[in-house]
Structure 1
Amino acid sequence: MEIMEWRKCYLDVILVPLGVLINIAYHAWLCHKVRTQPLTTAIGTYTEAQRLWVPAIMKDIEKRNIVAVQTLRNTIMGSTLMATTSIILCAGLAEAISSTYGVTKTPFDDTVYGGQAEFMVAVKRATLLVTFLFSFFSHSMSLTFLNQVNILISTLDDPKSMVTPEYVSHLLEKGCCLSTAGNRIFYLAIPLLLWFFGPLLAFLCFLTMVPLLYNHDFLYHCV
């Protein structure tokens, strides 16, 4: 009986890890482009703009303090919303996993829908839970750096001060990078949710995400 169940899981074992690897490969290539050709990517261009924005704000903070506060507030609110959403979903999934009355199977039983045994459903739930936990962790770390920037950017640009525009820019870059990473991990939950309806749907969603992210990440006039 167990051998028959594992035979139904071969699509889960092949297609879902393959889809994850495709997305990891894309983001590894994106990181390489951000480091080597930053102005060809939206992330690299945004990072370069941040490095110019922080010194300009700190140099004339008395006139631009409202702009600085509003800009950082919007960024912090975005990370807070995503962190809250992730931890709420984690709590819901943890309750579903621990509940003995939860649904252990999906309505499908054909081989194309992958393994539907209780163990495989538990694996899918646990994978989703870990994904949301990593998203929450990334956004929480992002909030730590962004809150530091929110205070330090109001420091006067004194040559003798330990707080320099370069240091504040570095903190802001870390915060935004962690926020972006948290968003991308959160996006990973979409195909993982479709995995409950079969590994083929999850794999197709993984493939669809790559051109969509490419269209967002790269600047056509620079590539």
Structure 2
Amino acid sequence: MGSTLMATTSILLCAGLAAVISSTYSVKRPLNDSIFGAHGEFMVSLKYVTILSFFLFSFFCYSFSIRFINQVNVLINSPQSPASVITPMYVSELLEKAFILNTVGNRLFYTALPLLLWIFGPLLVFLCSFTLIPVLYNLDLVLGFKKQGKTESQINGCGDCESV
């Protein structure tokens, strides 16, 4: 469901950006503005195309993730036979591919958010990036399970699990 929601959000943002590009973009003087000015027609078009490509690649990653998850849902219920090509290892590899594609789609989507603010100026990009880095750090880093000398099984409420 998360991949479907994010894919829908990505493609809606792509459609919105495409509508903005088609209504405001015109080529008059493509190379006369500097990068830091960032309001010339070439830079504005570069911003929109960059953001659009990030959201499109994010959509494709989410779509492939949905495809692999649907395939896993069908294959996980298939009967096991010795001559079958469908093994539990194959199904787990498909599920892992789906999760990796979902993670890549998330990263592309999260990276596109500061780029979306790039339209309005460099200060908003800096502030969004400054807040996005700790968020992504907390999403990626799992702190150790040992808290105050307790093991993982004691934290989970299973004190006798270690002896089993």
- TM-score bracket, normalised by the shorter chain, equals 0.7 to 0.9
Q: 1:222 to 1:129 in 2, by over 3 A?
A: same
1:199 to 122, 131, 139: 122
Show structure 1 runs of 4+ deviating over 2 A.
156-160, 203-208
> 2 CA distance for matches of 1:198 and 1:95?
21
Taking the TM superposition and a 5 Å limit, the aligned residue runs for 1:202-217 are: 202-217=125-140
Q: Quote the residue 2:95 is aligned against.
A: 172
2:15 to 91, 107, 111: 91
Unpaired runs of 5+ in structure 2? Answer: 27-33, 147-164
1:114, 1:198 within 8 Å by CA — same for their partners in 2?
no
Aligned length: 138
> 2 CA distance for matches of 1:145 and 1:215?
27
Q: Quote the residue 2:84 is aligned against.
A: 161
TM-score when scaled to structure 1?
0.56
> 2 CA distance for matches of 1:97 and 1:208?
28
Q: Quote the residue 1:135 is aligned against.
A: 58
Unpaired runs of 5+ in structure 1? Answer: 1-76, 103-110
> 2 CA distance for matches of 1:94 and 1:82?
18
1:142, 1:176 within 8 Å by CA — same for their partners in 2?
yes
Q: Aligned-residue CA RMSD in angstroms? A: 2.3
Q: Quote the residue 2:157 is aligned against.
A: none
Q: Quote the residue 2:74 is aligned against.
A: 151
Taking the TM superposition and a 5 Å limit, the aligned residue runs for 1:63-74 are: none
- The residue matched to 1:140 in structure 2 has which SS? helix
2:25, 2:41 within 8 Å by CA — same for their partners in 1?
no
> 2 CA distance for matches of 1:123 and 1:84?
24
Structure 1 or 2: larger helix share?
Answer: 1
